[in-house]
Amino acid sequence: MSLNYWDLDLIHERMKEYDIKYREIYDELFDHISSAIEEKQNAGDSRNLSVIFDEVIATHFGGYLGIGKLAVTQERDYRRKVRKRIWANFMYYVNFKSLAFTVLIMLMSLMLPTGKLTFGVIGGLLIVAAFAPSAYVYFKLKRIKRPGEKKSLVYIETIRRANLPTLIIYCAIGFPQLPYQILGEEPPFKLYNIPPVILAFVLALMLIYNFSYVRLCKQELEQFALAEE
């Protein structure tokens, strides 16, 4: 015996009682509850659907508080998984080719003079590289973020990681000069005096991160496609 449209609608209505913020966690819990109710009905349980629903919540999740704890646990586990995956992807691209590329652009940067023009060119490349992951996730993961539905944990966590390079650049530029701006004094060290070799090294690291991030997005899209089947 399968649940009909009205049964599923009732389950959705009952699940509104619980604070489940993210769509992926909600869908997983919904599937679990629906399957458990179907099993009971197929075993001959003819009670009201709401009564069976309450029993499933109590026995499978430990009641109302149990649902909330499980949602928080699953959210934490997912964030931990993303951290491990992005680090694994980063190490995947730390290979002979990337190291050779890093050494090459650092050697090339040694031939550049320290000054405003060099800082402007490499700094511009750093800004582009910093914003590239955010642009990539916006266009690639747009179909995961659906209007009118619960927030997507996959989208939110991925875009948060995408903004990391931008945050690092902002902090590296802004924080050292903040005390002098507050005091109204001229900073003793100008940003354009940063040696080009250091800027080149940072650029190489950021490009490796971007490649690892693109790989993360592809992995998440593959999992999303499998879940939708």
Mean pLDDT of 60-88: 85
d(CA 142, CA 136): 10
Same domain, 61 and 161: no
How would residue 148 be classed by pLDDT, with cut points 50, 70 and 90? low
DSSP assignment, residue 152? P
Which pLDDT band, with edges at 50, 70 and 90, does 226 fall under? Answer: low
Domain-terminating residue out of 51, 68, 85: 68
Are 50 and 107 in the same domain? Answer: no
Q: What are the pLDDT digits (tens) for 164-213?
A: 787 777 777 767 777 777 777 777 777 778 889 988 998 998 899 888 88
64 with 165, same domain?
A: no
Report in angstroms the alpha-carbon separations of 93 from 82, 111, 174, 184: 17, 27, 29, 44
Half-sphere CA count of 98, side-chain side, radius 13 A: 17
**Residue 82 placed within a domain:** no
Which domain does 149 fall in, by range?
94-228
Please work out, in degrees rounded to the nearest 5, the angle formed at the alpha carbon of residue 127 by the alpha carbons of 126 and 128.
90
* Chain segment 98-116, per-residue pLDDT in tens: 999 999 999 999 998 988 8
- Residue 79 maps to a domain: no
Are residues 108 and 61 part of one domain? no
Confidence of residue 144 (pLDDT cuts 50, 70, 90): low
Total number of domains in the chain? 2
